[in-house]
Amino acid sequence: MYRDIPEELLSLIEPVVKDHGLELVDVERSGGRAPRRLRVIVDNPNGDGRVLVDLCALVSREVETHLDASDAMDGAYTLEVCSPGLDRVLSRPKDFEAARGCEVKLETRRPLDGRRRFRGRLEGFEDGVLRVRVDGQALEIPFAEVSRARCVYEFTRDDFARA
């Protein structure tokens, strides 16, 4: 989640992303053995996920330079800069507001009603609370409890139509 990005990384990455007219959506770090992976997810201000590959490459080179110069990533790492993709990452309040009506998968920091993973239709997001219809029931999930969330892309006939 955007709010969980360590300040040291945020202060190095976000200015580079903004300089290229993009918005930082999230930074995902994978632990474990080297090389660790650092995935920087960016989007354009329209929020439609359309970010040119060349622009991702340019941001990647600049972010890598900043990270290496500051030693923010100790040890070997692999940097990946990408757009939110079909299964769009939801990490900021504006992402949830834009995803109203979409099917989402989310995980909470601790169990709510005996579970941590939910999949359902996002009916609304107001005052820091998500309203999600899961298995026919309306649930209210505090935004502060969400640790991970993504849209579920819903394929239609148009996705398979020939041009």
Vertex 126: Cα angle to 120 and 127 (nearest 5): 130
Q: What is the pTM of this model?
A: 0.82
pLDDT of residue 80: 95
> 3-class secondary structure for 23-84?
EEEEEEEECCCCCEEEEEEEECCCCCCCCCHHHHHHHHHHHHHHHHHHCCCCCCEEEEEECC
Fold (CATH) for 93-151: SH3 type barrels. (2.30.30)
Cα(110)–Cα(67) distance, rounded to whole angstroms? 32
Domains 2-82 and 93-151 share a fold: no
- Tell me which of 3.40.50.720, 3.40.50.410, 3.20.20.100, 3.30.300.70 is the CATH number of domain 2-82: 3.30.300.70
pLDDT of residue 133: 96
C-alpha count within 13 angstroms, C-beta hemisphere, residue 102 = 22
pLDDT per residue as tens, the chain (163 positions): 888 899 999 999 999 999 999 999 999 988 777 788 999 999 999 888 889 999 999 999 999 999 999 988 878 889 999 998 888 889 999 999 989 999 999 999 999 989 999 999 999 999 999 999 999 999 999 999 999 999 998 888 888 888 7
Q: Report domain extents, the chain.
A: 2-82, 93-151
